[in-house]
Chains A and B, each alone.
Chain A
Amino acid sequence: DVKVTQSSRYLVKRTGEKVFLECVQDMDHENMFWYRQDPGLGLRLIYFSYDVKMKEKGDIPEGYSVSREKKERFSLILESASTNQTSMYLCASRGRTGGGIFGGYTFGSGTRLTVV
């Protein structure tokens, strides 16, 4: 079964800590994404990457950075965690179908981060 694996399901961090969220996919997908999901706000795109070493800002990049050193791994970094970054974080990947168009997202199970 194809998979996107997020390193932690639950995480509690203190305000000001540097936080690393790891995501690994085994589908050889070029595209990878980080979203956060909050009640009433839906899914909001933080950062995405179309290839190794490439990164693009999404709709809410402030307070976050990313790293993609290998094709299968996309890391989200909270430089200095704050309480308003308490959220469900979802990683996703996407590849091309046989027809050359992009297929749907494969999401990880999510990391529920609480910043205290």
Chain B
Amino acid sequence: TQLLEQSPQFLSIQEGENLTVYCNSSSVFSSLQWYRQEPGEGPVLLVTVVTGGEVKKLKRLTFQFGDARKDSSLHITAAQPGDTGLYLCAGANRDDKIIFGKGTRLHILP
């Protein structure tokens, strides 16, 4: 069974700090996606990474796909209260099945 482990489960930091959250697996994925979910809403796709070692930037968010395509990280620079939410990673296997991690709940304190 393929699993995606996200760490940490919870993170609470002050506005302006930097942070990194992780998504790890022992399985290889053909692509990996990151979503952000705000309370009472559905997840919203932030980025898809496809190539091993790929780095994508979305304003203050930097996403990296591991060289072996088994893991990924999300780095946020100068976190703001608007970054608060549940961050989910999701990996696609060769059969196009999507596996979701359980998420990192991030709270940015003003």
What residues make up the interface of A, taking CB atoms closer than 8 Å to B?
A: 4, 9, 40-43, 90, 92, 101-110, 112
Give a binary string over B33-48; 1 marks a CB under 8 Å from any A CB, 0 the rest.
1010000111111001
For chain B, the count of residues having a C-beta within 8 Å of the partner chain is: 19
> Which residues 1-32 in B have Cβ within 8 Å of A in the complex?
31
Q: Among B31, B45, B88, which residue has its beta carbon within 8 angstroms of that of A43?
A: B88
Measured between beta carbons, the chain A residues less than 8 angstroms from B90 are 104-105
Q: Which residue of A has the minimal Cβ distance to B1?
A: A59
A-B contact count (CB 8 A): 43
Measured between beta carbons, the chain A residues less than 8 angstroms from B101 are 42
Q: Among B42, B48, B92, B102, which residue has its beta carbon within 8 angstroms of that of A107?
A: B42
Distance of A43 Cα from B97 Cα, bound (Å):
14
CB <8 Å contact, A109 and B45: no
CB <8 Å contact, B41 and A105: no
